[in-house]
């Protein structure tokens, strides 16, 4: 499983070269320092989501390399392959969320506004990113880039509906330890259901490939 996660990160590093990563961080820092009040609503809401959307690119690369043809004969279990993809997504999510959190602190300091004003966008962006993982990983195991892309769009649309209906405002207006606990439990439940769906989809496709290969 560690090898699978390492493989995903090697692909990530190959696509997102060090120069691009450095340039992106510099641009984000400049935006937070020089135009914090204009930049931070978008950074706090979209940065983790944009990073995890790399799942779409990963699926496309696996399609081109015929990775799916190697899966039936790999000496690892279905569970290890599926968990590896969630682990890769989780590491990206945590890393980008920490980066977003630090950028929000810098923006609040340079823009002379309270960090608490950024929290609603930050939490909504993180929830939308979790939803992207929940939809994107099982869709990606279908090995069709269009399906994975559609899952990303669906997550963004859900985020837009929450924002347009004011559900996020109502949530933070009644925010308490209980509401945050329920939110965390809800996200955890979604991740579990997504994992079970991914494992079921992957097992069916992997075993179907194995039968085809044995018949040939």
Q: Which residues contact 123 (CB under 8 A, 6 or more apart)?
A: 168, 172, 183
At residue 185, the pLDDT reads 93
Of 189, 171, 170, which is closest to residue 180 (Cα–Cα)?
171
Residues in the chain: 216
Task: Please write the tens of the pLDDT for every residue from 54-111.
Answer: 777 777 777 777 776 776 677 888 888 889 889 988 998 999 999 999 999 999 888 8
What is the C-alpha to C-alpha distance for residues 135 and 125, in angstroms, rounded to an integer? 15
What is the C-alpha to C-alpha distance for residues 2 and 97, in angstroms, rounded to an integer? 22
At residue 166, the pLDDT reads 79
At residue 188, the pLDDT reads 93
Integer CA distances (angstroms), 67 to 4, 70, 118, 143, 206, in order? 12, 5, 41, 10, 12
Residue 148 DSSP label: H
What is the C-alpha to C-alpha distance for residues 68 and 74, in angstroms, rounded to an integer? 10
pLDDT band at 115 (very low <50, low <70, confident <90, very high): confident
CA angle at 135 for the pair 16 and 184, rounded to the nearest 5°: 100
Task: Please write the tens of the pLDDT for every residue from 23-62.
Answer: 888 998 898 889 988 888 888 888 888 878 777 777 777 7
pTM for the whole thing?
0.83
At residue 18, the pLDDT reads 81
For 65, counting Cβ atoms within 10 Å of its Cβ (0-12 exposed, 13-18 middle, 19+ buried), the class is exposed
Of 101, 106, 13, which is closest to residue 58 (Cα–Cα)?
13
Task: Please write the tens of the pLDDT for every residue from 141-184.
Answer: 775 655 567 767 777 788 788 878 877 777 777 767 788 888 88
pLDDT band at 192 (very low <50, low <70, confident <90, very high): very high
At residue 209, the pLDDT reads 58
Query: How many C-beta atoms surround the C-beta of residue 194 within 10 A?
Result: 21
Strand (E) or helix (H) holding 16: none
What is the C-alpha to C-alpha distance for residues 84 and 61, in angstroms, rounded to an integer? 17
Residues 14 and 88: beta-carbon distance below 8 Å: no
- The radius of gyration of the chain from alpha carbons, rounded to an integer in Å, stands at 19
Tell me which long-range contacts 168-172 makes (C-beta under 8 A, separation of at least 24).
168/120, 168/123, 168/124, 169/120, 172/119, 172/120, 172/123
| Residue 186 scores a pLDDT above 80 | yes
At residue 3, the pLDDT reads 80
């Amino acid at each position: 499983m560690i090898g699978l996660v390492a493989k995903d990160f090697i692909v990530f590093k190959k696509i997102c070269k060090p120069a691009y990563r450095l340039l992106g961080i510099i641009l984000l820092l400049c935006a937070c320092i020089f135009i914090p009040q204009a930049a931070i609503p978008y950074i706090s809401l979209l940065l983790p989501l944009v990073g995890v959307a790399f799942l779409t690119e990963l699926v496309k690369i696996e399609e081109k390399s015929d990775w799916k043809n190697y899966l039936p004969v790999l000496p690892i279990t279905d569970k290890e392959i599926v968990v590896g993809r969630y682990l890769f997504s989780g590491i990206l999510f945590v890393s980008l969320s920490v980066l977003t959190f630090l950028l929000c602190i810098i923006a609040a300091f340079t823009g002379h506004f309270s960090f608490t004003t950024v929290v609603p966008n930050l939490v909504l962006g993180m929830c939308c990113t979790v939803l992207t993982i929940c939809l994107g990983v099982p869709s990606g195991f279908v090995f069709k880039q269009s399906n994975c892309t559609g899952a990303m769009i669906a997550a963004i649309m859900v985020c837009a509906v929450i924002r347009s209906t004011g559900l996020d405002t109502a949530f933070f207006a009644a925010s308490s330890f209980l509401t945050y606990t329920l939110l965390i439990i809800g996200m955890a439940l979604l991740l579990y259901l997504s994992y079970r769906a991914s494992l079921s989809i992957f097992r069916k496709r992997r075993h179907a490939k194995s039968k085809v290969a044995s018949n040939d």
